[in-house]
A and B are shown apart, each in its own frame.
Chain A
Amino acid sequence: MVMRIAFFFLCFFCVCFGLKGDDVSVQAEIDQTGGVWENQPLKGIVSITHSEKDKVDESSFKMEDNALPVEFLRDVRFSSASPLILSYYRFALNGKPKGLQILPSISVKVGGKRYTSPPSTYQVGELAVPVQNPEGKTKSILKLEGGIEAPVDIYPGTRFKVTYRYIFNDNIELTKESLPALKGTGFLKIGSQEAADSQQGSYSIRIISQNLEAVKPGTYHFNGAEVEGIVYRNDPFGGHIYLKPALKAEASPISITVLPFPEKGKPASFNGAVGSFSRFSVHLLSPSKISVGDKIVLNVQISGNGNDIGKVPLPELCCQPGMSGVFQLSDLPPAEKTSGNSKTFTVEMRPLIPDVRAIPSLEFSFFSPSSRVYGILRSDPIPLTVLPLPSPKEEKKEKPKAQGEAVVNWRKEKAESKPIEILSIEPMTESDLSNRLFGTWWVLWILPLGPVLLLIQYILKNELTRRKKGENQKTSSQIFESTMEMGAKSPYFFQMLNKSFMLRLEELGAISDSDINPEKLPKGGKAGLVRDFLTAIDEKRFAGQPILDEAELIKEAKNLFNRLK
């Protein structure tokens, strides 16, 4: 048993020592930086971790038993204390078809011993390669086309798009690019340039466009666009190989005509709104009954599918029928708010004259480029009552008087100034600045304190009653004294005498209850003496024998009572 265990450990240690002996590792991988494309040369890296004293044999690299040429890149030391270094070598392989590929193991001799890297996988992507012409050669093409996407007729406010289209079939680096129409000189640029790429067969298409808006009528010319570029190939090391000659492409000039709004049928209220509008309404926000000069606030709303509803201008209200000379609009620009396909204006104005019955029906006109006609929308009139301002009283003109009289008149005028309309103030003292003592919330403390005090009194009363009850009970001495004072002739004498002696015995602890019959007293001790004395008296009394010597009786009673202490 012991021998078996020892043998096991021996084998275990041998394996460990064997493993410990190799500090060399070889790793190989394809460099996928920048992408790996089908049929394109591949480059890879072999990294070898080894001891400094073990040299790498550069001529010993093999892949699938074939020699593999490599190029040394660099050595990296792990640390100054460690003898291990990391050596990098570069290699190149022929292109592979697209898909998941396997890099086979690469072996190398390090320190006279051969080491092998584990196989690895890499992904080869698809590359759009030019279609080979029948002669087997690739012809690079670059074309440029320019144009506009716009309605047939362009009017001020109409929006359209200017586009340039690149058509090419190779990797081209542009060296010159001139696209004049994208600048949009004479037009309003809407948004920024947009670019879109697409593929049509073997050709790549790139479209660059810009939205413009016509501002003024006229004809605008844009020179022809031209571009220039050089075809290039990617080298195995990620750089570009340029092929001459350079390619050039041109587009024909672009001419845009912006037509003026037709004069025929143009409404007087038209001020440049372009599009299709469906609703125009005016609402009164301020009171409908006002005086001359008071402010009127109107809510003017326009709804429709204009080019950009936010750019629709407010109709010219000042000069519309019923407005001029009647209402004065505010000098400040109206507040605007756009929401969805509606735009709202808040307009302020003031009536200039009284007796105005209504805000007249207002007009909004627009031009529709699609139908090439003007449209007019009208709001409903709004009832309004404008009151005149009160006219100032006419001042009485008096003859100029002598200075003294003038002073008197002046004083009289001043004395007749506005009278006091209310009752005068109340005279105050310091006490008027105080809160009522019991008029604040602290008085609520009586709610808990009152019952507490009552409870204390109740307990106190019970205690006093109990004590008093104790004090009312007289002692045996007190009863005996009052009995002696009473005298033997008193009818209560013998009863009280009996009670005093029995109470005395109870006080002494000779008996537990003083209300018992004296004949039931014990015969011995102090109780026996009392028993004898009281029973002798009772015998004489109940036998009808008179007690001859009352003084002797009292003396005997006193002696006996004094003995009971």
Chain B
Amino acid sequence: MKKLSSLYYLLGGFLFAVVIYFFGHGIPLSYNSGQAAQHLIHLAESEYREGEISTQVADRKKAFNLALSHYLQLEKNYHPNYGNGKLYYNIGNAYFQLGEYPLAVYFYEKSLSLDPRDNKTISNLATTLDKLGLNRPTTGFKLDNIFFFHSYLSLPERLTLFFFFSLLAFLFLSLIVWHRRRLLQSLAILFGISALILLGSIFYSQFISPMEAIVVKPAFLYRDAGDQYAKVAEKPLTAGEKIQVLDLKGEWLKVLTPSGELGFIKSNSLRII
């Protein structure tokens, strides 16, 4: 019995170490794809730096364009939609340098969705919105005071924590099967409840909270799915504006603007975060 308990502790410790490692580093790429990725990263960064120090407008633009093309190639090859957001931040920077502010906003928002606490992204996003004459809307989560982690942690981070807490809860429950201890029961309950709360936060993000999108080119809002219908307002939506996507009707999306206007917009005018 003692040997069995030791085995369990060892196994639990090993899994814990594995979780911590991958939580920080992610799944490593294979050797060959890693070499190619590193090369492309190096090219992109060097082009970007070249653009930063260029004094001629044409040279600067060329360098940033090259950097952007490399970054976009990386995004196409690896699409780290559950990563740490660095790639999207760099893409946003490249778009900003080329004057494509709405697209820069989109990629900054995408980076923030993966790393909400990154100050550099927040700062650059604020600068871009200032260029567009827009204000950054506040988070829409009403219970932010209690469930602070919902906005503080990204979805991948919450998934990782959920997994970690669930694993510990099941480990302690397994120990309870073999040894009934009050301490083990308390720990199992603690981690179990934590995992459930995180699961609730994850499901809220995925199924309850509305999708958000960035308007990448000015477009009119119509009363129904078609430009033969009346416009909601004579003024089109401003590029760079963040709106909520409520429904999909063919190539038209039903959206809600920050000012509370409800209408339909063509899907090619915005990008969903």
Q: A: which residues have CB within 8 A of B? A: 285-287, 414-415, 417-418, 420-441, 443, 446-447, 450, 453-454, 457-458, 461
Contacts and interface: CB of A to CB of B under 8 A. Distances in A.
A434 B74 CA distance: 11
Q: How big is chain B's contact interface, by range?
A: 35 or more
A430 B187 CA distance: 37
A431 B24 CA distance: 10
Interface of B: 19, 22-23, 25-29, 34, 37-38, 41, 45, 48, 52, 55-57, 74, 77-78, 80-84, 86-87, 89-90, 93, 96-97, 120, 123-124, 127-128, 155-157, 159-160, 162-164, 166-167, 169-170, 173-174, 177-178, 234-235
B40 to A, nearest CB: 9
15 contacts: A286-B234, A424-B48, A425-B93, A431-B25, A431-B29, A433-B74, A435-B27, A436-B26, A436-B159, A436-B160, A438-B159, A446-B163, A446-B170, A454-B170, A454-B173
B55 A420 contact: no
Contact of B159 (A443, A450, A453): A443
Contacts of B166: 443, 446-447, 450
A439 B159 CA distance: 5
Contacts of A432: 80, 83-84, 86-87
Top 5 nearest A-B pairs (CB, nearest first) are A439-B156, A437-B22, A434-B26, A435-B82, A443-B163
Contacts of B178: 457, 461
Contacts of B123: 422-423
Contact of A435 (B19, B37, B156): B156
A424 B52 contact: yes
Nearest to B164: A438
A390 B23 CA distance: 55
Nearest to B56: A414
B38 A429 contact: yes
Nearest to B34: A430
Q: Is the interface of B mostly helix, strand, loop or mixed?
A: helix
Contacts of A424: 48, 52, 93
Contacts of B157: 436, 439
B87 A439 contact: no
Contacts, number: 146
B174 A434 contact: no
B174 A454 contact: yes
B96 A422 contact: yes
Contacts of A457: 174, 177-178
B29 A433 contact: yes
B265 to A, nearest CB: 19
A426 B86 contact: yes
Contact of A450 (B38, B82, B83, B170): B170
Given A422-B96, A430-B38, A436 B86 contact: no
Given A414-B56, A420-B97, A437-B160, 13 more contacts: A422-B97, A422-B128, A434-B80, A436-B84, A436-B160, A437-B22, A437-B23, A439-B160, A441-B159, A443-B160, A457-B177, A457-B178, A458-B177
Contacts of B128: 422
Nearest to A421: B127
Contacts of B23: 436-438
Nearest to A437: B22
B23 to A, nearest CB: 6
B170 A453 contact: yes
A433 B25 CA distance: 10
Contact of A433 (B37, B89, B167, B177): B37
A428 B90 contact: yes
A413 B123 CA distance: 29
B41 A428 contact: yes
Nearest to A284: B234
Contacts of A441: 159
Given A422-B96, A428-B87, A432-B80, A417 B159 contact: no
A287 B234 CA distance: 8
A440 B82 contact: yes
A23 B93 CA distance: 105
B90 A437 contact: no
B173 A430 contact: no
Contacts of B89: 425-426
B27 A437 contact: yes
A137 to B, nearest CB: 71
Contacts of B29: 430-431, 433-434
